[in-house]
Amino acid sequence: MENAFIIKGGNKLKGSIKLSGAKNAALKIIIAALMFKNKVTIKNVPRIKDVEELIHLLTTLGAEVDFHDRHTLEIDGKGLKSNKVDLLHASKIRVSFMLFAPLLHKFSTCYVPNPGGCRIGARPIDRIIDGMKSLGIRIEYDSDTGFYYAQVKSKIQGYYKYPKVTHTGTELLIMLSVLGDDKVILDNTALEPEIDDLIRFLNLAGARIKQLGKKITILPVKELKQKDAFEINSDRNEAVTYASIATASKGEIMLSPIQPEILKTFTAKMKQIGAEVENIGKSLIRFGYAGPLKASSVQTSPHPGFMTDWQPCWAILMTQAKGESVIHERVFENRFSYVTELRKLGADIDFVKIPVKNPAEYFFFNFSPDKKYHQAIRIRGPQDLHGGVLNVADLRAGATLATAALIADGESVINGASIIERGYENFVEKVRSLGGEIKKL
Ligand code: EPZ
């Protein structure tokens, strides 16, 4: 059995972790860099599988993308020679659909596969396609080949209001508009901090993007030129994962660099359940176990709410908390793949139905009345967990199963280690540095 972690649980995990660059910022900034006139240098790029896959895809399209040192990437999009993203690569890296932006700017036409669904739901891009059409892009879908054909028909300009927020959807239309032909106004945009990083990256290169609440105005510029190397901010999802690992194992952890502001919803909940949280200076946070945890329910929502990416970690913490808690997932339609796995370790978790007055409004995915959804779980704790053989379905669920194994009594096997390594740099080394007993087969 390869591609598995063997974990022996039960240690109190303590120590300090230097966070890696944010996956969900790096991937888009690397794609946007292809639109620059000159070579682009990006620092603090995480060495994770998703980044490696994206780099491989960009080089097959003719771009030059190389690591200058361990975490500094140099990108030159001048050599782009193909306007067609192949199916195999697109199936390996979901954000490949964002290549609409650089390919349309370079070739005015492009072929991009439908990213399709994945383990956490159907994940259509209907809002994005509608947005592109509103901005003057002709786009057709060939259901036989699974490809979109897009063409800049006339000018890229106009107004688009997202029917519901979309994180990558906001980022893609920003990228498409910066080198457009006239003003673009995007309304009801997403607010994730990674979008701020993308806007900062583009504006430092001469773009004219203004964000006011959920409205973004973009005035077109002729070219984008990088002046100084750009540094990716650290990964808040990684921070939440390690804070959960330390607290659930009754240990403590120092995380840096991380701005407390972007984690404030999470840290507020951690304080609510009785964990210790201390902001030290501008970019260091200490999380620690300070006695029995109290159960507390969450419902997920886009930033600045409780992130959907954090709810799998929250589930583990709630198995160790006294009382009953409910997690209500509003953003994705299938984000509880870890539940059946945690039950194998003895967790007391049930799917529950929570009546929702207007589900089409309440959920952030495209709700369909004739579909069956499992959007809420109830957890009873505290529950001692024991080892088992677990299977990873998606990235954040994988980190949750690793956390469960680290606090369970005995040894566990986690199949699908590579899925965890898609989004967590040096996962084994970092867990070992906290005193975790983990090895990769
Ligand atoms: C981004 O996904 C992140 N991925 C996700 O992180 C994150 O959970 C999510 O934003 C929310 O912050 C990256 O940035 C690479 P959405 P994204 O578009 O942009 C539906 C991780 O683990 N929708 O905001 O795909 C969609 O299906 C990943 O790092 C449509 O129906 O999220 C989802 O249910 C997981 N039509 C909801 O909206 C559309 O056109 C929110 O999706 C677009 C989205």
2 CA to centre of ligand 1 in angstroms: 30
Q: Which domain holds residue 140?
A: 23-231
Question: pLDDT tens for residues 264-284?
Answer: 999 999 999 999 999 998 999
115-143: burial string, b at 16+ Cβ within 10 Å, e else: beeeebbebebebbbebbebbbbebeeee
Q: How far apart are CA 272 and CA 383, in angstroms?
A: 19
Whether the predicted pLDDT of 230 surpasses 90: yes
Q: Which of 23, 24, 99 most suits a substitution to test ligand 1, by most atoms within 8 Å of the C-beta?
A: 24
Q: How far apart are CA 36 and CA 13, in angstroms?
A: 44
Atom of ligand 1 at shortest distance to CA of 130? Answer: 40
Q: End-to-end distance of the chain based on CA atoms, in angstroms?
A: 7
210 CA to centre of ligand 1 in angstroms: 23
| Residue that is last in its domain, among 231, 257, 286 | 231
Same domain, 76 and 218: yes
Same domain, 213 and 284: no
Same domain, 271 and 180: no
Atom of ligand 1 at shortest distance to CA of 165? Answer: 24
Q: How far apart are CA 441 and CA 430, in angstroms?
A: 17
- Residue percentage of the chain with pLDDT more than 70: 100
pLDDT attached to residue 123: 80
**Strand, helix or coil for residue 20:** coil
Whether the predicted pLDDT of 77 surpasses 70: yes
| Residue that is last in its domain, among 180, 211, 231 | 231
Same domain, 215 and 247: no
Same domain, 372 and 395: yes
Q: How many CB atoms lie within 10 A of CB 439?
A: 11
Amino acid, res. 367: F
Atom 15, ligand 1: residue with shortest CA distance: 24
275 alpha-carbon distance from chain centroid:
25
Q: How confident is the model at residue 303 (pLDDT cuts 50, 70, 90)?
A: very high
Same domain, 177 and 243: no
Q: How far apart are CA 441 and CA 111, in angstroms?
A: 39
Cβ–ligand 1 distance for 335 under 6 Å, the answer: no
Look up 118 and say whether it is catalytic.
yes
Instruction: Report residue 382 as tokens.
Output: 């505290």
Cβ–ligand 1 distance for 278 under 6 Å, the answer: no
Atom 18, ligand 1: residue with shortest CA distance: 166
Cβ–ligand 1 distance for 166 under 6 Å, the answer: yes
Question: Domain count of the chain?
Answer: 2
Please state the φ and ψ torsions of residue 281, each to the nearest 5 degrees: 70, -160
416 CA to centre of ligand 1 in angstroms: 22
Strands 14-18 and 252-256: parallel
Question: pLDDT tens for residues 332-384?
Answer: 998 999 999 999 999 999 999 999 999 999 999 999 999 999 999 999 999 99
Q: How far apart are CA 396 and CA 308, in angstroms?
A: 10
pLDDT attached to residue 116: 73
Q: How confident is the model at residue 117 (pLDDT cuts 50, 70, 90)?
A: low
166 CA to centre of ligand 1 in angstroms: 6
Amino acid, res. 37: K
Is the backbone peptide bond immediately before 102 cis, with ω within 30 degrees of 0?
no
Same domain, 127 and 179: yes
Q: How confident is the model at residue 1 (pLDDT cuts 50, 70, 90)?
A: low
Cβ–ligand 1 distance for 308 under 6 Å, the answer: yes
Q: Which of 93, 168, 194, 265 most suits a substitution to test ligand 1, by most atoms within 8 Å of the C-beta?
A: 168
Cβ–ligand 1 distance for 123 under 6 Å, the answer: yes
Mean predicted confidence (pLDDT) in 424-437: 98
Same domain, 299 and 214: no
Same domain, 15 and 64: no
Q: Kindly report which listed range (135-139, 142-146, 185-189) carries the lowest average pLDDT score.
A: 142-146
pLDDT attached to residue 89: 84
Strand partners, 415: 4, 391
Please state the φ and ψ torsions of residue 390, each to the nearest 5 degrees: -120, 150
Atom 30, ligand 1: residue with shortest CA distance: 124
Whether the predicted pLDDT of 95 surpasses 90: yes
Cβ–ligand 1 distance for 270 under 6 Å, the answer: no
Q: Give the chain's mean pLDDT.
A: 96
| Residue that is last in its domain, among 231, 255, 289 | 231
Same domain, 226 and 364: no
Question: pLDDT tens for residues 151-186?
Answer: 998 899 999 999 999 999 999 999 999 998 999 999
Atom 13, ligand 1: residue with shortest CA distance: 24
Catalytic one among 6, 118, 219, 326?
118
Q: Which of 99, 132, 167, 332 most suits a substitution to test ligand 1, by most atoms within 8 Å of the C-beta?
A: 167
Q: Is 59 left (phi over 0), alpha (psi -120 to 50) or beta?
A: alpha
Which CATH number fits the domain that encloses residue 92? 3.65.10.10
Question: pLDDT tens for residues 22-62?
Answer: 999 999 999 999 999 999 999 999 999 999 999 999 999 99
Same domain, 282 and 220: no
Strands 321-328 and 298-299: parallel
Same domain, 45 and 57: yes
Dihedral in degrees, nearest 10, Cα atoms 97, 98, 99, 100: 90
Strand partners, 73: 42, 67
